[in-house]
Amino acid sequence: MKKIIVPIDFSEYSDYALETAAMLAKKNNAEILALHMLEMSEAILTKGENEMQMETVFFLKLAEKRFNEFLDKDYLEGLKVTPIVKHFKVFREVNEVAKEQGADLVVMGSHGTSGIKEFFIGSNTEKVVRYSEIPVLVIKHNPILTEFDNVVFACDFSEESVSAYINAKNMFESLQSKMHMIYVNLPSENFRSTAEMEGKVVSFLKKADGNLDNLSNVTYVSDYTVEKGITNFSNLVGADLIAIATHGRKGLAHFFEGSISEDIANHSTLPVMTFKI
């Protein structure tokens, strides 16, 4: 991991994300790319070219000043931090910046809560996850511990999930994390017998790894919903992070066979990392 992007909106949640990124950067000797999307109003965009250029420069200078103040943090001491300001608030640009800069990870803060407030639905975080081709780590609280010693990777072990699994495995090997893989069996049309589940996982690992060395790291859980299965298992093993595969622009609702709501990301009290299928 060499470069970490942190979208900054000057909120306490982007502060949480920045502090988390700092911890990861120190551990991996990585650079932080602090990205601010400068939202320009329609009034400015409809003005004449010269007037628009002057106002754009004015707002850029304000953003740079606020940026410098925001980045004056003790936890960033000794780290390479590169501020980047984009003119328009279009969240697919985060992925464009990631490709331009060769970034490895996006770290975002979100005010998601367990209960009524659904932070992913219609949120900027959701938009970044849907467009990002690199992993996105969502932080909801002030980071207390970011060692990520125990990680739960939720997977349906389908052939299209192989790339997400490989990316997750490489990521967590670099972080020296133990990756627990989980298959949730539901009492529905997707129900599978033990032999069917094991057969599917064996076929998956042979294709992904070329061996069965990680077979012992797979746990089969039966529950009424995927969310409950993942949450209960994460609590059982004392997980520090939940990782999930996503189809990107289709949203998080399709990373398992059939469908699943964004409840995992909305309700989890743990940080969530997504990997693009």
We report the CATH number of the domain holding residue 158 as 3.40.50.620
Q: What is the mean pLDDT of residues 112-135?
A: 65
Could you give the number of structural domains in the chain? 2
Last residue in a domain, options 73, 108, 143? 143
Give ∠ CA 229-271-174 in degrees, rounded to 5: 100
DSSP state of 39: P
Residues in the chain: 277
Dist. CA 190–CA 183, nearest whole Å? 12
Task: State pTM to two decimals.
Answer: 0.83
Phi, psi torsion values for 104, nearest 5 degrees: -110, -20
Element (H, E) at 108: strand 105-109
Do 139 and 32 belong together in one domain?
Answer: yes
Q: Which one-letter amino acid corresponds to residue 200?
A: K
Q: What share of the chain is helix, strand, coil (3-state, %, to 5)?
A: 45, 20, 35
Q: What is the mean pLDDT of residues 146-163?
A: 90
Domain that residue 155 falls in? 147-277
For 122, the 3-state DSSP assignment is coil
Task: Work out the pLDDT band at 43, boundaries 50, 70, 90.
Answer: very low
Do 77 and 135 belong together in one domain?
Answer: yes
Do 170 and 258 belong together in one domain?
Answer: yes
Say if residues 109 and 70 touch (Cβ distance below 8 Å).
no
Q: What is the mean pLDDT of the chain?
A: 82
Burial category of 88 from C-beta neighbours within 10 Å (exposed 0-12, middle 13-18, buried 19 and up): exposed
- pLDDT tens digits for range 75-105: 999 999 998 887 666 667 788 899 999 999 9
